[in-house]
Amino acid sequence: MKAILWPKAAFWLGASAFLILHGPAWAVENVPAPELAKDVGLLAKLGERYLAAGDAAGLVAVEKKLAGMKADRPAALLALGRLLSSAEEYAEAAQVLEQALALKPDWFEAEKELGPAYRELRKYEEAALIMEKALKQRPREYWLTIELGRCYVRMGRIEQAKAAFAQAKRVNSKEAGAYIEQGYAYLSTGFDAQAKQEFESLIAVDTASPFGYHHMGSYLCRQHHYPEAEKYLRRALSILEANPPADPDNLDHTLQWLGISLQAQGRLAEAEAVYRKGLEQTIPDRYRRSALLGALGILANAQGKPGKAERLFKQALAVCEPASKGACIRAVVDGVRTYAELVRKPEAESLLEHLDNVFRHLPVNNESIANFMLLADLNMKLGNSSKAEPLLRRILAARAILPAEFFIISKAEAALVGLYEAQRRRGELEELYLREIAAFKGHGDKGLAAGTLDRLAAVYEEERKGPEAAVARRQAEALRAQGGKS
């Protein structure tokens, strides 16, 4: 047996060494065709190398070879599905993985890849079902349990999400992922104190890791506790810098939050130094550069340097394609705010038009909804209510598919209420109040539901609908009697 396996093992060891030495420039075609056609593992590794190097042609060549393999077909499809998922081609990945499962039903490895692909495609029900099924086979799969928890969060099933994250902690209490995901699940649903506890627990279980310090720092920034946030963020930064090479995402986010905390404390020169440090380390990534240039633009405006601010915003936009990426949109938003503060409405509206053109073609999803709200807010501030209203309506229309974004959707509803009240559009206001009341009750916010019922009663009274007004007021009182404070 050893005599049969050894030549093949020697070949693959040699091929691996060759890959390490020569990298992705070594073409797939250089592998002997008979061997390449039979070994899924080497093809998958080659594909990963091409993907990491940004070699699109090499990646396509590997994908074609995997798609055409006849021997060990399920394994070839699994490898292809993984590559496609890594390349963020989730629809194609899901299709390939479904084929693998058709050939090999109940195959854990394929189910493990298909669930997260469905989640990325926002097919949350299908994703949850396939991941639940896979975890029945292997309940101690840490990252698949995390993925299932993420999926539950997106479905608004917070108790199930908490149970999934708790299970992940039982599997590995030292790993950061479950604490981070559960912390942000709490934040997204308004349970700030519980979110803080998760980040504190993460620090307690792994004091040598930067993650707990970073996420606690960003949490404290969101709570406007800037001096305390600074301490945690500096600790995260010192750990990242002491262990090079630091992950670019972790380093970039830590520097941005540290800059925000310093700027909020009025230490503008220190904040500028932090942002520029980030800029020096993120040159290849246009989205990170855009965000940092935008942050420097805001800082320059705060320092009373409008000309410098404008130049920085122009640079931020120049490195950033019109896209849904948050950093790019944020740079435009920051530019609009700066022009508005400088009372240069034409320039502000020109940038807003740029954003409107981008958003017209974007779906409202968990990645874009906050930016839709930002754009609506900006239009309202500049007096463009006719442009704000359709954006707010699009946010509200996403309620059924984005239950975890309850607070952004509630903010959009409140903005629309204000608009209808100002324009005395009572019929639309009545309809909107009824939707708000149902949403608040569904989320368990009896106080908010009672307050909205009072406002609905006032609308009924203006319309001379006495019986309806009386019913609304009785319902409000009943909710308050149940413990709801508005």
For residue 295, tell me if it sits in a domain.
Answer: yes
Cis, peptide link before residue 245, omega less than 30° from 0: yes
Does 339 reside within a domain? yes
Looking at residue 358, its pLDDT comes to 66
- Nearest-angstrom CA–CA distance, 409 and 156: 13
Report the residue count for the chain.
Answer: 486
Q: Are 405 and 188 in contact (CB under 8 A)?
A: yes
Is 190 a member of any domain?
A: no
Between the alpha carbon of residue 32 and those of residues 3, 45, 62, the distances in Å are 21, 16, 14
d(CA 62, CA 43) in angstroms, rounded, equals: 6
Q: State residue 444's pLDDT score.
A: 67
Going through 186-340 in order, the beta strands assigned E by DSSP cover none
Whether residue 306 lies inside any domain: the answer is: yes
Cβ-count burial 439-459 (b if 16+ within 10 Å, e if not)? bbbebebbbbbbbbbbbbbeb
Series of mean pLDDT values for 10-residue runs along the chain (486 residues): 29 33 43 56 70 69 74 82 84 90 92 91 89 95 92 83 91 89 80 88 90 93 93 95 83 90 93 90 66 82 81 75 52 62 65 69 75 82 84 83 74 86 83 80 74 86 87 88 64
Tell me, what's the pLDDT at 344? 63
Q: Looking at the domain assignment, is residue 336 inside a domain?
A: yes
- What pLDDT score was predicted for residue 14? 34
Output the pLDDT for position 177: 87
> How is 318-349 classified by DSSP, letter by letter?
HT--SSS-HHHHHHHHHHHHHHHHTT-HHHHH
What is this structure's pTM?
0.62
pLDDT value at residue 308: 85
Q: Identify the CATH number of the domain in which residue 306 sits.
A: 1.25.40
**Angstrom distances, CA of residue 358 to CA of 149, 344, 387:** 32, 22, 14
Domain of 345? 283-362
Q: What is the pLDDT of residue 399?
A: 74
pLDDT at 323: 46
Which whole-number Å values give the CA distances from 169 to 132, 137, 187, 204, 282, in the listed order? 17, 19, 19, 13, 33
DSSP state of 486: -
349 lies in some domain: yes
Q: Is 307 among the domain residues?
A: yes
CB 45 within 8 A of CB 26: no
pLDDT score recorded for residue 111: 94
Cα–Cα distance, 410 to 308 (Å, whole number): 37
Q: Name the maximum alpha-carbon separation found in the chain.
A: 95
Q: What is the pLDDT of residue 270?
A: 95
Number of domains in the chain: 1
Does residue 97 belong to any structural domain of this protein? Answer: no
* Share in percent of the chain as helix, strand, coil (round to 5): 80, 0, 20
